[in-house]
């Protein structure tokens, strides 16, 4: 950089420092910060589900339980087939039988997955109805049933993944 440009840049930088003093905001406590806190009323308790919604939730919970029972019944057969195929090669008869048993296991949990999807749809539908003022309450009941169904499906997914991991992969 040439000395002339350097002196010009330096003069510009120093001229910014020579301006009028600026007034910065005070860091002292303001009156509003010293005022006592106002009491906040607790939010109202959520409205319970009506009888029709409760019946629908119960139907989906029963469907999820039915899927869990079917899954548990098929689990023993699939586990036995996977144990028999764990040391075999890919495409052997035992390996194919284990894959078929795992597929049957996945099909047996269809009711659980379907119930979870129905509860998801019910939650969204109910949320929209509440937002539009057409319904009141019931979201907590749906959310609780949905959480239980989701935990059930997640557990089934974990078991299926563990079985698949025990088999040789193509």
Residue 15 pLDDT > 90: no
Residue 2 in domain: no
Residue 64 in domain: yes
Residue 9 in domain: no
Structural domain boundaries, residue 147: 51-166
Structure tokens at 162: 């563990």
Residue 8 in domain: no
Specify the number of domains making up the chain: 1
Work out the end-to-end distance of the chain between its first and last CA atoms, rounded to an integer number of angstroms.
Answer: 66
pLDDT, tens digit, 9 for 90 and up, residues 74-124: 999 999 999 999 888 888 999 999 999 999 999 999 999 999 999 999 999
- The answer to whether 50 and 142 are in contact (CB under 8 A) is no
pLDDT, tens digit, 9 for 90 and up, residues 46-84: 767 788 899 999 999 999 999 999 999 999 999 999 999
How far is Cα 144 from Cα 142, in angstroms, rounded to an integer? Answer: 5
Residue 45 in domain: no
């Amino acid at each position: 950089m040439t000395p002339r440009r350097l002196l010009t840049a330096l003069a510009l930088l120093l001229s910014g420092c020579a301006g009028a003093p600026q007034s910065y905001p005070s860091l002292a406590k303001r009156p509003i910060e010293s005022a006592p806190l106002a009491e906040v009323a607790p939010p109202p308790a959520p409205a319970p589900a009506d009888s029709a919604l409760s019946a629908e939730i119960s139907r989906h919970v029963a469907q999820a339980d039915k899927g869990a029972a079917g899954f548990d019944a098929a689990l023993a057969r699939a586990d036995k087939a996977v144990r028999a195929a764990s040391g075999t090669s890919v495409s052997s008869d035992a390996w194919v039988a284990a894959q078929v048993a795992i597929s049957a296991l996945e099909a047996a949990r269809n009711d659980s997955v379907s119930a979870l999807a129905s509860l998801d749809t019910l939650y969204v539908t109910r949320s929209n109805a509440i937002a539009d003022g057409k319904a009141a309450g019931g979201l907590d009941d749906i959310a609780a049933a949905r959480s239980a169904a989701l935990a059930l499906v997640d557990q089934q997914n974990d078991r299926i993944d563990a079985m698949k991991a025990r088999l040789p992969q193509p």
